[in-house]
Amino acid sequence: MQNESKIEESKIEVLPVLKPISLFPEFIEKIDGENKLKSNVITLVAIDNNDVYFVAGLLEENNDISNENIINIDTEDGILENGKSAKVLLAKAIDLSVIYKMNYDELIPKIQTSWEDMARLPYVSLKDQLKIVNWVTANLANQGSVPKLVVIRKKRREEGSKINGAVV
């Protein structure tokens, strides 16, 4: 039991929450369903036991101010592990309309960003982190605008290796 606890603690330390990272494009292409990822950039928002929850990173800013589901991030004010400021290069906005859920161990081999590069990438700014947390909290409390939860898992079928994005 103690070993399981240590494994979970090390997982939480390994994958960064609120830091844009990239997935292999081949993985993104295999996801089918109406809630496909819009790019190969994701931002983890939570880790729970053996599951990770993430949102899509967007390569362009959102110019539609009426779309409150997309938060433009301050790319000039990212935060490195040592607390210094750095430019966020992988994403310019985050789409919070869909939260994706995937098994931690299934996600790891799909990550394109190397562990060394991941350690050097900045987190989104503190201001943007608060925006994300406040948005998720407000929308989970408001039953009328709860974000979609899409579970990504391997399809168990013989004819191919498609990945299923099932909406919960």
What is the overall mean pLDDT for the chain? 86
Distance CA 145, CA 85 (A): 34
Give mean pLDDT, residues 103-116: 94
Considering the entire predicted model, what is its pTM? 0.83
Q: Given pLDDT bands bounded at 50, 70 and 90, which one contains residue 31?
A: confident
**Ramachandran class of 18: left when φ > 0, alpha when ψ lies in -120 to 50, beta otherwise:** left
What pLDDT score was predicted for residue 37? Answer: 92
Q: Given pLDDT bands bounded at 50, 70 and 90, which one contains residue 139?
A: confident
CA atoms within 13 A on the CB side of 24: 10
CA atoms 7, 82, 127, 122: torsion sign: negative
Distance CA 90, CA 111 (A): 13
Decide: helix, strand or coil at residue 3. Answer: helix
Q: Given pLDDT bands bounded at 50, 70 and 90, which one contains residue 91?
A: very high
Q: Where are the alpha helices (DSSP H) in 31-83?
A: none
What pLDDT score was predicted for residue 156? Answer: 65
Per-residue pLDDT tens for 110-121? 999 998 899 999
Distance CA 68, CA 4 (A): 39
pLDDT for residue 89 is more than 50: yes
